[in-house]
Structure 1
Amino acid sequence: MTIEYYEMDLMPGRKFFRCEPLRASITAEECDRRWRAGNMLLSQAAGARKSFVDGFDADASSDASMRCVTCRGCPIGARHAGVQDANPSQLKGTTVCSRCHQGCTRLIGKHLCISCYNRQREQLVGKNRKGTAPVKLEPLRRRSISYLAAGQLHTKTVEHSLDMNELIVAVLRDETHAMKFVPTLPAKFLALRALDGARLSTDKLGD
């Protein structure tokens, strides 16, 4: 991605470029500041500010973070901030529920909104507030998804999940680096492949 810089007559020595998302001309320093501010999170536990990007001590306030939320996934902003392979997803650092995909004020277990958590708890205990068995929520089961990020293979596992979309949203929201999802082969296929490998080894020994 090529960026064309230029100087203004009234501000010599400062390099500007055209930011299309903002429809404005800004400096690289301002772009850096906005990207950092957009990637700030409020610590829900202590109420303190912290950077969502590892290795940064951003000085933006929560108000500035909200104003710069559109800059969160900008690759140009990440370049000006000196961050390599930053996660470009607009879900990064948000409090979007992994299951219903709705925004909320806080996440239970850093994963679900209060409503989805309550429905899950009802299914796990086998009854709702009325004492009857819940029937609306689909069965939950253990799922895993693998992805590459920062040159390493990661696997995220959720013990009680509704579908694979839930895991994908969680990774897009929580991972700081750009990622590439890796296809997960069914367990039955892996078992058959392992069995075939054992048979081939036995045949070779027989020869």
Structure 2
Amino acid sequence: MTVTFDYFTYEGVPGRYFACVANKANLSELRCATMYRDAKKLPLGACVPLEKCLGCPIGALHAGDKAPQAKERPVGTLICSRCHHPAARIICGGVCVSCYNREREMIKGKNGKGVPPRPVERFWDDEAGDCRVPFTHRVELTFSVLGVVRPVIYRNVADTFEAVLRTVRGRRDTVTFGFHSAVKAPMQMSLWGGM
């Protein structure tokens, strides 16, 4: 994949610069490389602007890395992982602006009017009528990447499904989820009374 962009300089400022479309800023080659390397070190579900630098071919070029085959995009980029609705903007690990604002209201204990939010308040209109998120809570997941089992803890997620979506969006490898029960299941008896 060939990436084309133009360098320019600022009078009295050392270095070459270019217009970074993803960050909507003019960046130096050194800053671009630093942001690319830092983005590769991000923990899963991190809510930082460096998410845009993951898999960037320009960042890889400036960092001296092998250019990725294709732009690595999170799965379902424009679908909110909490309310599952399409959104024009996705922020903070995959939630839409509306969900993020409702979460902040719950954490702060008041909405924009200064009134405490009601936990059973309808945050989204849903045809099925089951779209209520009373609280966000902590979810622990265990997943496997290339045979290596990794635990991850998400704070402030609505449910396990949101945590799974955040994990998939944050990975570039194949992810396998599983369940390991600590309780040994009893042997199943025959339906007809025998073993």
| TM-score, structure 1 normalization | 0.46
Which structure shows the bigger proportion of residues in helix conformation? Answer: 1
If you compute each CA radius of gyration, which structure gives the higher value, 1 or 2? 1
| TM-score, structure 2 normalization | 0.48
